Structure formats: structure tokens, C-alpha cells
Amino acid sequence: MEINPAVTFKHDRSIMYAKRPKVLIVGAGLGGLTLGMLLHKANIPFEIYERAAVVKPLGSAMFFNSTTAPLFKQCGIYDEFLSIGKYLSKIDMCTEDRKVAFKLSFSGHEEEFGAKGYIVARPKLYDLILRQIPTERIHMNKKVLTMEQGGNGVLVRFSDGTEAEGDILVGADGAYSAVRQNLYAKLKKESKLPATDALPLPFSTVCIVGQTRPLTPEQFPDLGREESVFSRVMGADKMYSWGPEAAMAMCKEVKDFPVVSGGDKKLTLGDLFEWSDKDLISKVMLEEKVFKTWYSCRSVLIGDGMMSPSGGAGASNAMHDAIALANRINGLPFHPIADEIEAAFKEYQNERVGWVNAAFENSKLLRNIVGQVPN
């Protein structure tokens, strides 16, 4: 494939076969799958490449409100989303003695914005979106080694010796995105990368993530309530947030931290660990940063705001990025040239950057409320 931007040719759409741009998506997380689902609905050709053999949708349950309801409704999956979710009207912020210190209320959303807020288990949401995408469009065990782009397209090379060609490359592959690393390396070499984007990612939070096996109201009484009960325990003088050896070692350190269950028995994190499969518990170090460079030529990034999990906004913002980007791609003409694609990417960033920065600041604020900031 010739991708040299210096190649000169006459771009005459009147004599070309009507062709939508082909999109290569790297990363099969919620952001990448959401983009794939939307492109599939719009009949835009795409392929998704994931470096892992199996994606484990680890992490806490997720909260979605009226801002994402239109996405699920327009894709025809809102009723199924409601069936796997549970209505949430507030978050109880509790002290270590399990007493409510204050509440964060979400009541009134339906009257004001047209939809209520629901909390849903991450694996169930992941499965729901995954089922909207043809299985042949998702390729596992595809680790990106290099990428090239130019006037005629993009070329991605994988560690298994295969290649993929397309018109647009989307990096939806997380904090240590291979697409971003390749893109930034080229921009840095050309002295086009902002100095702050070249700095290492700053770690802000170390936490244990995972899911328990299905529990009963007898084990966890709050599960028996019609409305979801979300209680967050704030550590008074502990740096707590809620390879296997590291995870198990941290589990031992935090096993006595209190959990609010709604019953008389005083449960702790240790009880949740006992109800969880060990291969679904991981210790992760999370970063906080919003990059300034979101695109270049035919390559673009989504989910590029690295946020504290305290705000619960990381994945939902990646999904909003996917919506905005899908709209811009859908608006491109047949056979778009690189300048048209880059202009669409600029519009996408202009639309999203203010929202991402606001969510980033809110996540930091909630992190300071529920935890402690390292010295």
C-alpha cells in the first residue's frame, strides 16, 4: 500500500465508485465497541483489533444517566439496558463507622432531562454492546507494532505478522495506547508534539478492581431493595480506593475496610474478596491526564481523558467521544481526502474537549472527597 503523502493524483469523486471511508479501531473496550456499534448502524465499514485474547471487563458497576439514554434508545437497546440496570437516585457518602455523612442526589433527572439514572454491572453492559457488532468484525490477539499514514490511507502492522489497511485509524486502546505512542513518536520527531503530551502519565490512584459472584439479599441485604443503594466509605487516614501476587497482597492490606450492606452484619472488603473469583481481581495503578493532541492526519484518539475512578466518568466519556466521532465520520463525503478527515477530527475535538476537561476536574474533586491526595 502506498501511503506517501507526497504522491500526486487527481481526486475526482465523479468518476470514483461511491465508497465510505473504512475505519480501523484499535481497542475493544467500551469506547471502541460503542464506536463500532454506531458505525455498524450507519453502514460504515470498520474492523476492531484487540491485543488481548479475551477482554475481561473488570471494574466497578457503572452509572449512566440522561446523557447516554439517547445513545441506547437510538440503537434500539434501551429496554434491554433498563432490564440489566437498577435505578439510582443518590449516593450515600459514609464514614468508616458506616454512618452517612452526606448524600449526592440525582433525583429529578427524568423530569428535567428526560431519563433517570441507572447503575449497571460492567460485564453486562459490555456484553450488551458487544452483541450489537458482527463477530467477524472483531479480531483478538492483534497487538499493534507500527502504523503509517499519508495521503492515500493508513497501514497498521501487528505482532503476528499481519497487516490492516484503511482510511481512518482510531486509537481506543487505553492509557498506554499503541496508536498514541506511535503517533506521538512521529509528531515528536517532527517537533509538532506539545511538551506536556511527551511527559510520562502521572499515577494518582492504586486500587483493587473486580466483581463478586452473584450475591443474594441474605448475604447483602441492600440487594433486596427495589432501588439501587450506592454507599461509598471515605477513609479517614488511609489511602484506600475501591500480576495476581500484588493484588492478593493488597487485598490482605485492605480486607478490614468497612462495607455498607444494609444489614446488621458488619461486612468488610474481606467478605467481598471471599465472594469473588481470584482471577477477576486485579491491582491497577490509574492515571489522571487530559492530552492536548487528539489527532493527526488520518489517526484519532478516543477515551483520551485519563480520570480518577472516583468520578466514575472515564468509560462514559469514552462512549461520548465515540458518539461525537461517529457523527463526524458519518458526515464525511465519499472518498474523503486526508485534509477533510483531519478537519472532521478537529471538529470532534472542539466538541468534546470542554466536556472532558470538566469531567476531569469533577473526578479530581470526588477523589479528594472519598480518599486522600498523595504528598
Residue 346, helix vs strand vs coil: helix
Question: HSE of 301 in the Cβ direction (CA atoms, 13 Å)?
Answer: 24
* CB 314 within 8 Å of CB 302: no
Helices 314-330, 30-41: axis angle to 10 degrees equals: 30
Average pLDDT over residues 80-106: 89
Nearest to 290 by CA among 305, 311, 301, 312: 305
Q: What is the pLDDT of residue 366?
A: 62
Position 241 scores a pLDDT of: 40
- Residue 73 C-alpha cell reads as 434508545
Q: What is the DSSP string of 134-178?
A: -GGGEE-S--EEEEEEETTEEEEEETTS-EEEESEEEE-S-TT-H
Averaged pLDDT score across all residues of the chain: 84
Which of the pair, 12 or 29, is modelled with greater confidence?
A: 29
Report d(CA 319, CA 126) in Å as an integer: 12
Which residue type sits at 346? K
Asked if 26 and 146 count as a contact pair (C-beta separation under 8 A), the reply is: no
Cβ(360)–Cβ(305) below 8 Å: yes
Who wins on pLDDT, 177 or 131? 131
What is d(CA 229, CA 261) in angstroms, rounded to the nearest whole number?
A: 9
The pLDDT of residue 375? 39
Report the C-alpha gap between 15 and 339 in whole angstroms. 20
Contact 152, 1 (CB under 8 A): yes
Does the pLDDT value for residue 15 go beyond 90? no
If we measure between CA atoms, which residue out of 227, 221, 217, 345 comes closest to residue 293? 345
DSSP assignment letter at 234? P
C-beta separation of 133 from 33 below 8 A: yes
Indicate if the pLDDT at residue 13 is higher than 80. Answer: no
Domain boundaries, the chain: 19-61+121-202+288-370, 204-286
Res 130 pLDDT > 80: yes
Three-class SS of residue 282?
strand
Per-residue pLDDT tens for 157-195? 999 999 999 999 999 998 778 999 999 999 999 999 999
- DSSP H stretches of helix in the chain: 30-41, 69-74, 78-84, 109-113, 122-130, 178-189, 244-254, 269-274, 314-330, 338-370
**Residue 278: count of CB within 10 angstroms of its CB:** 11
The gap from C-alpha 363 to its chain's centroid, in whole angstroms, comes to 14
For 311, list phi and psi in degrees, rounded to 5.
-85, -15
Which set of grid coordinates corresponds to residue 41?
448502524
Q: Average pLDDT of 52-62?
A: 76
Inter-CA distances, 110 with 26, 89, 158, 323, Å: 35, 11, 46, 22
CATH class (in words) of the domain with range 19-61+121-202+288-370: alpha beta
**What pTM, to 2 d.p., does this model score?**
0.83
Q: Which three cell numbers stand for residue 209?
A: 478492581
pLDDT of residue 2: 46
The one-letter code for the residue type at 120 is V
Q: Residue for cell digits 492530552?
A: 291
pLDDT digits (tens, 9 = 90+) for 326-368: 999 999 999 999 999 999 999 999 999 988 888 767 666 665 5
Q: What is the pLDDT of residues 281-319, one digit of tens each?
A: 776 666 567 788 999 999 999 986 544 555 456 688 889
Give how far the C-alpha of residue 278 lies from the chain's centroid of Cα atoms, to the nearest Å.
Answer: 23
pLDDT of residue 247: 72
Amino acid 297 reads C
Amino acid identity, position 295 = Y
